[in-house]
Structure formats: C-alpha cells, structure tokens
C-alpha cells in the first residue's frame, strides 16, 4: 500500500499560503483563547491579538465570559493591555470608560447624543469543557455539537473540575501547522523525548482514534511498568488512568488530557514561520501537591523546549526548494496528520 503523502515545504513557508489560511481557516474557525478559569472572577480579563484582531476577554458581573474587540469606539486605541482585574476599562487616549459588559459608561466632554448606546464590538464566543473559543468571522457553525464524539472520550476526566496552576507563552519560529502536526503525532515521542516522555508515552503504544470534522487525536498509553500518574475523577477506568488522550480541536487548539493533569496549547499563528504558543497546565481538583506541580511544570517546560528546538530546525529545512512532500508513517503514528490535512483541504483538489 502506498503511504499517504504529507505536505510540501511551501505549505509551511510561503507567505501567500499563510495569508490564505488566515482568511479561509483561522478566521472562519473556533480559536481557543485559554481555559475559562484563567479569568475566574468578575472583572478578570486578558488581552491577545489573533489574526490581526485585538481581543479583550473579560468575565462580566453576571459570570459570562465575553470576547470584545479591544478597541475604543472613539478612535480605536486599545482599552486594555496584558491581563489582570478591572472594575472598568478606561481608554488611555481620551479616557472614555467601558464596563465589564462592554458598554460605554462615560466619555469626558462629549455631548450625550454623540455617544448614546456605544459599546465595545463583541465577538462570538463559546465555552466547551472549561475552554473558551472565539470565532472571528462570526459565521462558524456552533462548536459543541461537532465535538460530541470527543466529549465522550474527555468527559470521564471531568475537565471542568480541573484548575489551572501554570500558564506560559513563547514565540516559536515554526509554522502553526507544523506545531499542530508535531503535537498530534506519536512517531517522534521516543526519539525527541527520549528522557522526558519515552518512559511514559512511548511511540510503540500510541493508538489513534477516529476523528471527526472538528477534531482528531490519539491515546498515548503508559507501559505496564510505569508508576501510576494520579487518580483523577472517580468515574475513570484503570485504562483511562493509564493513558493520556491527546487531541486537536481544529484548527489549532491542542490538549493532552490525563487523569490528574491537563496540558493545553492555544496557538496564535503570526506568520508563515512564527507561532505564538500560549500554554497552561491544570490539575484535577486539589489532588496535586505543590512539589508535584513544580515537577510537572519542569517536565512540560523541558518537553516544550525539545519540540520547539526540533520544529525550529525543521522550519529551516522546509524553506528549501528540495522540501517535497514525504510519506507519512502508518495510521497509529501519523494518521492524525492525514486527518488534519483532510480538514484543512476539505473540498479542495489542489493542495499548497
Ligand atoms: S481613542 Fe479611546 S478615548 Fe479616544
Ligand atoms: Fe513532542
């Protein structure tokens, strides 16, 4: 049987491909902003730029997390920077102020009739299993119904009962699709992560599961000799406790769900060879003590550096004129990449 081919280097390196993807895939999809408990209390907020759109995400007094365009209705200055907690958002340019629900509260020296009913523009957002997603073009089909089959796998872990204990952010000099593919494929685990992951999630025990139109993933099973990794939710089977479930909610939200630890990576593609990676670690309830949390942060930081180094080196190869599409490894190892490409190029005959 002929192996399925991956993508040629141009798909990861060309500016025009990246711009087409931004318009056709990223802006039309559901992009994960982060875990909802990153903004747990009313007034908690965070800002980020996604596909050229400045966003302000804030939890309102009614408990709803809303995603606004982070731009003042006067002359478009951002009204907030970074993250934190705010009673209201005062634009630093001419001091118009907005409530946690986005409504304009006051505008110094402005006639009332000029500012009546103004509020921050609002994006469509959806929460799913403790994550917050935004759709920039406002026209994507609802997310949750398209993740039903994935929910069946994830729900036994009770992801809503996880608590974020670490967040990090770094720019990787790699294409966003390469970051997705690297996260999804188990082929590299025993090679790139020899010292960090191999003893727990060796390549040989990876088992892909069926994806859907909105996700794909695989189970990274632990060897019998591996020590238990925590108990997690009470309803978990022993098999579920002895594996990590890694998945991608298309286009670019990556999650590793295990009994007591969840790692999440929200990708922010910034250019053909540049991806901002926002990541978080969350633990089940208060099962993990501080020393274990510190150990997990150190482990995942090391894993991330191993992946980043390999992807940044690969990005240099990808730019070569010899970077043709290579054959993908068998189903359980790189079938996830084939799924991802089917999603990216659904209905298209010509790939990049
Ligand atoms: S741009 Fe915000 S008050 Fe002028
Ligand atoms: Fe990796």
- Which one of the ligands is nearest to 220 CA? 2
* Angle, alpha carbons 245-248-251 (nearest 5°): 175
Q: 71, 87, 72, 10: which is closest to 322 by C-alpha?
A: 10
Ligand 1, atom 4, lies closest to the CA of 94
User: Cα separation of 262 and 36, whole Å?
Assistant: 14
The whole-angstrom separation of Cα 187 and Cα 199 is 14
* Per-residue tokens: 225: 């000799």
CB neighbours of residue 323 within 10 Å = 18
- The token duo for 272 is 């053909």
- pLDDT of res. 188: 95
What is d(CA 234, CA 228) in angstroms, rounded to the nearest whole number?
15
| pLDDT at residue 349, as a whole number | 57
Contact present, 112 and 48 (Cβ < 8 Å): no
Output the pLDDT for position 229: 84
Of ligand 1's atoms, which has the minimum distance to the CA of residue 96?
Answer: 3
Query: If you take atom 1 of ligand 1, which residue's CA is the nearest one?
Result: 75
Exposed (0-12), middle (13-18) or buried (19+): which is 181, by Cβ within 10 Å? buried
- What separation in Å is there between the alpha carbon of 92 and the centre of ligand 1? 7
Per-residue pLDDT at 351: 55
Q: Is any ligand 1 atom within 6 A of the Cβ of residue 336?
A: no
Nearest to 166 by CA among 308, 302, 44, 300: 300
Q: What are phi and psi of 62, to 5 degrees?
A: -85, 5
Ligand 1 neighbourhood includes 96 CB (under 6 angstroms): yes
Where, residue-wise, is CATH 2.102.10.10 in the chain?
39-139
CATH superfamily name and code, 39-139? Rieske [2Fe-2S] iron-sulphur domain (2.102.10.10)
Ligand 1 centre and the CA of 60: distance in Å? 22
| Cα–Cα distance measured from residue 200 to residue 225, given in angstroms and rounded to the nearest whole number | 9
Counting from 1 in the atom list of ligand 1, the atom nearest the Cα of 76 is 1
Peptide bond before residue 289 is cis, with ω within 30 degrees of 0:
no
**Residue 212: per-residue pLDDT:** 83
Helix, strand, coil in percent for the chain, rounding step 5: 30, 30, 40
Ligand nearest, relative to CA of residue 92: 1
Ligand 1 center from residue 74 Cα (angstroms): 5
93 lines ligand 1 (CB under 6 A): yes
Q: Is the CB of 94 under 6 A from ligand 1?
A: yes
Is the CB of residue 122 below 6 angstroms from any atom belonging to ligand 1? no
Per-residue pLDDT tens listing for the chain (352 residues): 678 999 999 999 999 999 999 999 999 999 999 999 999 999 999 999 999 999 999 999 999 999 999 999 999 999 999 999 999 999 999 999 999 999 999 999 999 999 999 999 999 999 999 999 999 999 999 999 999 999 999 999 999 999 999 999 999 999 999 999 999 999 999 999 999 998 899 999 999 999 988 999 999 999 999 988 889 999 999 999 999 999 999 999 999 999 999 999 999 999 999 999 999 999 999 889 999 999 999 999 999 999 999 999 999 999 899 999 999 999 999 999 999 999 999 867 555 5
Tokens representing 160 are 């809503």
Do residues 163 and 285 lie in contact, with contact meaning Cβ atoms separated by under 8 Å?
yes
Residues of the chain with CATH 3.90.380.10: 10-30+142-344
Ligand 1 lined by 351 (C-beta under 6 Å): no
| Integer Cα distance of 250 and 253 in angstroms | 6
What pLDDT is recorded for position 318?
92
Q: Say yes or no: domain 10-30+142-344 is CATH 3.90.380.10.
A: yes
């Amino acid at each position: 049987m002929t192996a399925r081919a991956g993508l040629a280097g141009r798909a990861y390196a060309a500016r025009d491909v990246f711009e087409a993807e931004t318009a056709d895939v990223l802006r039309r999809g559901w992009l994960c902003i982060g875990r909802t408990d990153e903004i747990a209390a009313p007034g908690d907020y965070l800002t980020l730029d996604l596909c050229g759109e400045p966003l302000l995400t804030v939890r309102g007094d009614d408990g709803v997390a809303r995603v606004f365009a982070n731009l003042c209705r006067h002359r478009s200055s951002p009204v907030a920077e970074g993250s934190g907690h705010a009673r209201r958002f005062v634009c630093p340019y001419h001091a118009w102020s907005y409530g946690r629900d986005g409504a304009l509260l006051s505008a110094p020296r402005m006639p009332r009739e000029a500012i009546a009913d103004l509020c921050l523009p609002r994006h469509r957002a959806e929460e799913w299993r403790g994550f917050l997603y935004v759709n920039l073009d406002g026209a994507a089909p609802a997310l949750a119904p398209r993740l039903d089959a994935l929910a069946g796998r994830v729900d036994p872990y009770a992801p809503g009962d996880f608590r974020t204990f670490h967040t990090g952010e770094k720019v990787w000099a790699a294409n966003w699709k390469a970051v997705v593919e690297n996260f999804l494929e188990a082929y590299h685990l025993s090679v790139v992560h020899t010292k960090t992951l191999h003893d727990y999630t060796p390549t040989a025990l990876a088992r892909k599961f069926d994806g859907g139109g909105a996700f794909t993933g695989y189970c990274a099973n632990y060897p019998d000799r591996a020590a238990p990794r925590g108990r997690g939710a009470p309803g978990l089977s022993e098999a579920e406790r002895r594996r990590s479930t890694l998945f991608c909610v298309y286009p670019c939200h990556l999650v590793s769900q295990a009994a007591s630890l969840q790692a999440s990576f929200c990708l922010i593609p910034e250019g053909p060879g540049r991806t901002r990676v926002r990541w978080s670690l969350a633990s089940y309830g208060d099962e993990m003590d501080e020393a274990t949390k510190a150990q997990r942060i150190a482990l995942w930081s090391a894993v991330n550096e191993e992946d980043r180094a390999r992807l940044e080196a690969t990005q240099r190869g990808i730019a070569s004129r010899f970077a043709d599409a290579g054959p993908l490894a068998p189903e359980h190892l790189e079938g996830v990449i084939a799924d991802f490409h089917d999603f990216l190029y659904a209905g298209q005959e010509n790939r990049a």
